[in-house]
Amino acid sequence: MAIFRPLVSILTPCWNRAEFLDRVWQALDDQTYPVIEWIVCDDGSTDDTAQKLEEFRTKSWFPVCVITASEHIGKVRMDNEAVSQARGQYILWNDSDDYLLPGAIEELVSIIESVPETERDEYVGVTALCSDEAGTIISSDLPSFGQFDTTWNLLVTKHGVTGDMIYMTRADVLKSNPFPEVDFVVPESIVWNVIGEAKARIRPIVVKVNCYRAPNAISFSGVIAYPRGRAHSMATCVRCLKKYRRGLRASCWRLITFTRYSIHGQLSFGQALKLWGSNSSRLAFLLMFPIAIVLVLGDRMRGIVRMTHNEFDLAESRVSVSIKSNNQFEKMQ
């Protein structure tokens, strides 16, 4: 008997998304690549998510690990739980309102296998494209030539690529760089920018469909939510991208925005200054602080701030997490 070891772990965090899970599962069921596992996190859902996941766990041809939180604790905590349970050599996220196209995982694996085996440790992972439900490619300004190597940070700063893409990332790298658990949501760029200096192989083909109108979608528009998480992400991302030249105006605005998030996130002046670190001088921080205060007062007068970090701290003190897998896949011939 041999221990089953998937090559690719697919991670799906979900919160009250039962109506979308059939589509996610069906897309995985249709994949042609056999050495996969699905790790799906039920973030304290109150709909039929638990029943759906139990059904998938018992009928799937691939291993399914279900991680369940006793109450809503947020994507950051559930992502960290999922990464810690992943047994694959590579990890990719498939959110609960998105779905993979047929052959997607086989295509992603073929990209990494196009790298000579002796060189693969130099690569953090591979990247391909996503489209929306109308078939429009989401990523913009991707170079028109075919497969190429770069870093994820250069993809943004040099090539100017924006929009969602799919990243199949080395599991050991993600396990060494967990998301900071400071709020329900921390923008994922906090990790991608940290690990984004290593090489990645890019193939400009669409392998996943992203959907953006499902309930409980995470959005940073209109309301200022997750301010502490956003402050942490901004400080880390600015630090990681510091060597790439930015204009003075953009640098000032980032510092103002960081300070604004820090105040809403109830970080003390000292905590914010320490978090920002060497991203700019103490004098610059002090000069931008009054402008940030004016914006903060305006935000609060308009009632657009959600102190989500306080809700997170309370939930974190009470939550428990359980893990269940389909045991028949623990060992295979």
pTM (whole model) above 0.85: yes
Same domain, 189 and 145: yes
Flag whether 219 is in a domain.
no
Domain coverage including residue 15: 2-214+316-332
Cα distance between residue 234 and residue 153, in whole Å: 14
Q: Are 333 and 294 in contact (CB under 8 A)?
A: no
- H or E, element range at 13: strand 8-14
Whole-number pLDDT of residue 2: 46
Q: Are 137 and 206 in contact (CB under 8 A)?
A: yes
Confidence of residue 220 (pLDDT cuts 50, 70, 90): very low
Same domain, 66 and 166: yes
Flag whether 10 is in a domain.
yes
Whole-number pLDDT of residue 333: 32
Cα distance between residue 170 and residue 158, in whole Å: 23
Tokens of 227: 């301010």
Please write the tens of the pLDDT for every residue from 64-96.
999 999 999 999 999 999 999 999 999 999 999
As to burial, measured by CB atoms within 10 angstroms (0-12 exposed, 13-18 middle, 19+ buried), residue 248 is exposed
Long-range contacts of 298-306, Cβ-Cβ distance < 8 Å, separation of 24 or more: 299/224, 299/260, 299/264, 304/222, 304/223, 304/224, 305/223, 305/224, 305/227, 305/264, 306/223, 306/224, 306/225, 306/226
Closest by CA to 234, choosing from 279, 284, 264, is 279
Average pLDDT over residues 34-40: 95
Same domain, 185 and 266: no
Count of domains for the chain: 2
Flag whether 220 is in a domain.
no
- H helix intervals, 138-247: 152-157, 171-175, 189-195, 227-240
CATH number of domain containing 16? 3.90.550.10
Average pLDDT over residues 1-11: 74
Closest by CA to 191, choosing from 236, 255, 130, 257, is 236
Flag whether 311 is in a domain.
no
- H or E, element range at 167: strand 165-170
Closest by CA to 91, choosing from 219, 211, 195, is 195
For 45-90, the DSSP string reads: --SSHHHHHHHHHHH-SS-EEEEEESS---HHHHHHHHHHH--SSE
Nearby residues of 313 by Cβ (< 8 Å), 6 or more positions away: none
Cα distance between residue 233 and residue 187, in whole Å: 6
Report the 10 Å Cβ neighbour count for 277: 11
Pairing, β 321-325 against β 64-69: antiparallel
Same domain, 121 and 254: no
Same domain, 199 and 119: yes
Which amino acid is residue 243, in one-letter code? K
Please write the tens of the pLDDT for every residue from 262-271.
999 999 999 9
| Residue 287, pLDDT above cutoff 90 | yes
| Residue 39, pLDDT above cutoff 80 | yes
Tokens of 139: 């990523």
Flag whether 222 is in a domain.
no
Whole-number pLDDT of residue 327: 56
Cα distance between residue 259 and residue 267, in whole Å: 9
Cα distance between residue 213 and residue 216, in whole Å: 9
Determine phi and psi for 82, rounding to 5 degrees.
-65, -45
Which amino acid is residue 266, in one-letter code? Q
Same domain, 111 and 240: no
Average pLDDT over residues 209-221: 64
Please, how many CA atoms are within 13 Å of residue 230, restricted to the half-sphere of its CB? Answer: 26
Flag whether 245 is in a domain.
yes
Q: Are 179 and 141 in contact (CB under 8 A)?
A: no
Q: Are 191 and 177 in contact (CB under 8 A)?
A: yes
